[in-house]
Amino acid sequence: MSRAAILATLGSTLALSPQAFAEFLANSKASVELRNFYFNRDFRQDNAPQSKQEEWAQGFLLRYESGYTEGTIGVGVDALGLLGVKLDSSPDRAGSGLLPRDRERVNGAPDNYSELGLTAKLRASKSVLKVGTLLPKLPTVLANDSRLLQQTFEGAHLNSSEFAGLTFDGGRLRQVSQRDSSNREDMTVTTGNARGIVASATSDQFDFAGLSYKWTPQLTTGYSYAKLDGLYDQHIVNLVHVLPISQGQSLKTDLRYARSDDDGHSNVDNRAFGALLTYTLGGHGFGAGYQSMSGDTGFAYIGGADAFLVNFVQIGDFANRDEKSWQARYDYDFAALGMPGLTFMTRYLSGDNIELGAGRPEGKEWERDTDIGYVVQSGPLKNVGVKWRNATVRSSHFGNDLDENRLILSYVLPLW
């Protein structure tokens, strides 16, 4: 649906009877998120084309969700307003993903950039159809929200839960706006590193469908299919099981398998398996993961989006050709010590067996991440959050060696 059509839907909604319109407003909600983001990435490998990326910016994210009008088919409208403002950048430090690269400034960044997204929605029984700006969070497409502003998509998405325990998602995406851009563009497949993927086209059609079934409160399984027209098609199956052990103790099993093949204008050929086990004891979380790639290429997913992989982390995805990787992770929630809102996470990942081509040695890499975050729980500063994210990456025979720090201050203000 075009933006004009969405506005027409909004206009027709406003023309409804006062009683129907009252329901539309009664269940609406709006908030604004202030996101102050400092990003510093130092490149440590020899002959790096750029010594570091360092930028600082302020983001404003305005979200509005209406209720639905009364009747068999309820009508509603959502809106998303995004504004990014440069606080510090320079041409030799640009490219962090916080701000667009301005070609006229020789890879510098503009003073600000913005985007307005509108979404028309229809609800019947337990099914909702959304058309317009979308933020999908599905195994086949995960909108990225790891920088100043969110990655958004344009398209249609149907979510249905008509049968107990069963959820269906399906739809089509047409274009994407990346996290550091306000422009709509066709979609691509992620390439680079030692993935071995070669694509000769972009696509304005991403079709997806999936089923998720909750067998018990502890067990959920899912199947998803997607096709980025002309580039790849993909089948994903996953299982999540939580085994209660005793009071405050549980073991979570997360299994994922994906098969990806080319669709004419790429060489995609990948089988990906991942398993993540997490043991929880009070405020402690102990995790161990394994991920394996096989086939002629690495894992395929939409450029700029997140990947549905257990070893997709702050910087790397460990999804190169033939790569085998493992992860060890520890989390702690300080609420167990009477300090709610304070959290800590650290993890280490190592990958090897990476195919770099004939005559080249096996590629290897590792990444170490640490997150410390706090969200104020009460008082005049309630909902103010601060997070420090640190990462170190090293690789052999490919890729970048880097040290990275991110400092994020955020505040979510409910408007009504």
pLDDT digits (tens, 9 = 90+) for 248-289: 999 999 999 999 999 999 999 999 999 999 999 999 999 999
If you compute the radius of gyration of the chain from its CA atoms, what whole number of angstroms results? 22
Burial of 148 (0-12, 13-18, 19+ CB in 10 A): buried
**Neighbouring residues of 285: CB distance < 8 A, sequence distance ≥ 6:** 278, 279, 329, 330, 331, 332, 333
Residue 246 structure tokens = 């005793």
Say how far apart CA 317 and CA 270 lie, in whole Å. Answer: 14
The backbone torsions φ and ψ at residue 120, rounded to the nearest 5 degrees and listed phi first, read -85, 140
Q: Report how far apart, in Å, the C-alpha atoms of 93 and of each of 54, 87, 166, 265 are.
A: 5, 13, 48, 34
CA distances from 300 to 152, 207, 227, 289, 315 (A): 19, 15, 11, 20, 17
pLDDT in tens, 327-340: 999 999 999 999 99
Residue 48: predicted pLDDT: 82
Q: Which two tokens stand for residue 285?
A: 């979380």
Band the pLDDT of 23: cuts 50, 70, 90.
low
Q: How many residues can be counted in the chain?
A: 416
204, amino acid identity: D
Could you report the per-residue pLDDT of 203-259, keeping only the tens digit for each? Answer: 999 999 999 999 999 999 999 999 999 999 999 999 999 999 999 999 999 999 999
What band does 1 get if pLDDT is binned at 50, 70 and 90? very low
Note the pLDDT of residue 397.
85
- pLDDT reading at 380 higher than 70: yes
Average of per-residue pLDDT values in the chain: 93
Question: Beta-strand (E) ranges in 125-247?
Answer: 127-134, 137-138, 141-142, 152-160, 166-177, 206-216, 219-228, 232-246
What pLDDT score does 271 carry?
Answer: 98
Helical axes 3-14 vs 18-26, angle rounded to 10°: 120
Lowest mean pLDDT among 67-71, 175-179, 225-229, 306-310: 67-71
Give yes or no for residue 299 having a pLDDT over 60: yes
Task: Quote the distance between the C-alpha of residue 194 and its chain's center.
Answer: 22
State pLDDT tens for residues 86-125.
Answer: 999 999 899 999 999 875 655 578 999 999 999 999 999 9
In whole angstroms, give the CA distance from residue 257 to residue 141: 15
User: Under a CB-based contact definition with an 8 Å cutoff, are residues 327 and 253 in contact?
Assistant: no
- Identify the residue whose tokens are 């997806």: 208
Residue 155 has pLDDT above 90, yes or no: yes
Reported as a single tens digit per residue, the pLDDT across 58-81 is: 999 999 999 999 889 999 999 999
Reference 43, options 354, 382, 389, 403; nearest CA is 403
Look at 18 and 311; give whichever has higher pLDDT: 311
Which two tokens mark 27? 């269940």
pTM of the model: 0.93
Residue 376 pLDDT more than 60? yes
Per-residue pLDDT, 330: 98
